[in-house]
């Protein structure tokens, strides 16, 4: 059988990324140009700056992905690209580049959903993982509990009503003076803190077992900080960070374990930027062991935005027959 090479492009937020994936699960190259330093100055991603930087970097990143993989564009089987959800201007850069390359080289074009990419990151290092399973996708823009019924077949059973998990990490980090990007910083300082120092709420959402809500928790942290300031009490950054982190993790683990048991599945996976959180991984490891579940998670480099995950998802879409036309557009609120 002939090898299938997917050239994948990802530019939905602040990472300009390209990758070559062979036969679905073998990553031959994974090039990521991160713009984080550029946005740190503003305390978050500035969409216009992100788009401009993508334009500057996209060709170099794609060329490097091909040369790192040691293949030519002519050897590529198909071009896959994230076309949503994400920042529209940022997405458009990747979509336009992928369309131009695929058109010029006479290759099929496969549009990929960003969340499908995050979920598919689990296939890279877990060669034995096959659907069905349940995946918790927690990133800067999303908190979804997804039943992965088959490749490309998903049912979202839980979503956030307000802030995404990563967004809560970023906002709380800013409030306690840790700066941007908040997730990795909270992760680090929490190791020195007491997670039981401050009791923050674990929000239940009316009418849904699996939906999340993190804005109440964020407000509780802000109220706690305000009241300390008013009383002249100095806060312990590490304790607040660890207590907040524990509150997020408790809810994520609770909902996830309930879902796995209700859907009678024995495999559970995590994905997205927040899935690289060390305390979260440890908590899921423990919960899955207790419940007799197989636990899957990507390495940190495949948790945060990358194009290898888009290449994997693109492969499964490609072999299913998904093809997009030259009119493929960026869809900022694309549904899974």
Contact between 35 and Zn ion per CB under 5 A: no
* φ, ψ (nearest 5 deg) of residue 154: -130, 150
Tell me the two tokens of residue 267: 């495999």
Residue among 24 and 166 whose Cβ is closer to ligand KG4: 166
CA atoms within 13 A on the CB side of 60: 8
Contact between 84 and ligand KG4 per CB under 6 A: no
CB of 168 to ligand KG4, least distance (A): 8
Window contacting ligand KG4 (CB under 6 A); options: 72-80, 101-109, 211-219, 266-274: 266-274
Window contacting ligand KG4 (CB under 6 A); options: 19-27, 56-64, 87-95, 269-277: 269-277
Residue among 98 and 249 whose Cβ is closer to ligand KG4: 249
Contact between 273 and ligand KG4 per CB under 6 A: yes
Contact between 139 and Zn ion per CB under 5 A: yes
273-299: b (≥16 Cβ within 10 Å) or e:
bbbbbebbbebbeebbeeeebebbbbe
* φ, ψ (nearest 5 deg) of residue 265: -110, 150
Place of tokens 């060329």: 63
Q: Is residue 141 annotated as involved in ligand binding?
A: yes
Residue among 243 and 304 whose Cβ is closer to Zn ion: 304
Q: Is residue 305 annotated as involved in ligand binding?
A: yes
Tell me the two tokens of residue 130: 């096959």
* Of 216, 220, 214, 213, nearest in space to 176 by CA: 220
H/E segment holding residue 94:
helix 88-105
* Contact in structure between 237 and 178 (CB atoms under 8 Å): yes
The strand pairing partners of 237, in sequence order, are none
Contact between 184 and ligand KG4 per CB under 6 A: yes
Sign, CA dihedral 298-38-184-174, equals: negative
Tell me the two tokens of residue 199: 């009791």
Window contacting ligand KG4 (CB under 6 A); options: 53-61, 191-199, 214-222, 267-275: 267-275
Of residues 6-25, which lie at the interface with ligand KG4 (CB under 6 A)? 13
**Rounded to whole angstroms, what are the CA distances from 118 to 15, 68, 222, 231?**
14, 22, 31, 44
- Binding ligand KG4 (rule: CB under 6 A), the pick from 163, 170, 239, 317 is 170
The interface partner of residue 274, options being ligand KG4, Zn ion, none and the CB cut-off 5 to 8 Å by kind, is ligand KG4
Contact between 305 and Zn ion per CB under 5 A: yes
- Binding ligand KG4 (rule: CB under 6 A), the pick from 304, 309, 312, 324 is 304
Alpha carbons 92 and 142: distance in angstroms, whole number: 20
The interface partner of residue 14, options being Zn ion, ligand KG4, none and the CB cut-off 5 to 8 Å by kind, is none
CB of 45 to ligand KG4, least distance (A): 9
Alpha carbons 160 and 252: distance in angstroms, whole number: 11
Q: Is residue 139 annotated as involved in ligand binding?
A: yes
Window contacting Zn ion (CB under 5 A); options: 25-33, 73-81, 163-171, 305-313: 305-313
Going by the annotation, the residues of the binding site for Fe cation are 114, 118, 305
Interaction site with Zn ion (CB under 5 A): 139, 305
Q: Residues interacting with ligand KG4, by CB under 6 A?
A: 13, 139-141, 166, 169-170, 181-184, 187, 272-274, 276-277, 304-305
């Amino acid at each position: 059988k002939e090898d299938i090479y997917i050239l994948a492009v990802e530019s939905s937020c602040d990472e300009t990324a390209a990758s070559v994936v062979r036969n679905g699960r073998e990553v031959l190259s994974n090039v990521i140009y991160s713009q984080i330093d550029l946005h740190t100055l503003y305390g978050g991603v500035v969409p216009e700056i992100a788009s401009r930087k993508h334009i500057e970097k996209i060709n170099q990143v794609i060329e490097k992905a091909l040369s790192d993989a040691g293949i030519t564009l002519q050897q590529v089987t198909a071009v896959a690209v994230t076309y949503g959800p994400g920042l529209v201007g940022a997405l458009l850069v990747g979509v336009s580049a992928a369309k131009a390359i695929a058109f010029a080289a006479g290759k099929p074009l496969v549009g990929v959903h960003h969340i499908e990419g995050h979920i598919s990151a689990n296939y890279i290092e877990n060669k034995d993982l096959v659907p069905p399973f349940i995946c918790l996708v927690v990133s800067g823009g999303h908190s979804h509990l997804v039943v992965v019924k088959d490749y490309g077949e998903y049912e979202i059973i839980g979503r956030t009503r307000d802030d995404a998990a990563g967004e809560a990490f970023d906002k709380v980090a800013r409030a306690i003076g840790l700066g941007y990007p908040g997730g990795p910083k909270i992760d680090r300082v929490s190791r020195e803190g007491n997670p039981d120092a401050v009791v923050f709420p674990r929000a239940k959402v009316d009418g849904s077992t699996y939906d999340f809500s993190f804005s109440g928790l964020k407000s509780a942290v802000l109220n706690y900080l305000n009241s300390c300031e008013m009383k002249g009490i100095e806060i312990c950054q590490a304790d607040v960070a660890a207590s907040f982190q524990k509150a997020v993790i408790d809810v994520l683990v609770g909902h996830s374990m309930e879902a796995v048991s209700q859907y009678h599945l024995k495999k559970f996976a995590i994905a997205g930027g927040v899935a690289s959180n060390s305390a979260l991984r440890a908590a899921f490891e423990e919960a899955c062991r207790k419940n007799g579940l197989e636990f899957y998670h990507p390495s940190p480099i495949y948790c945060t935005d990358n194009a290898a995950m888009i290449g994997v998802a693109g492969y499964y879409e490609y072999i299913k027959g998904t093809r997009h036309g030259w009119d493929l557009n960026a869809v900022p609120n694309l549904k899974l």
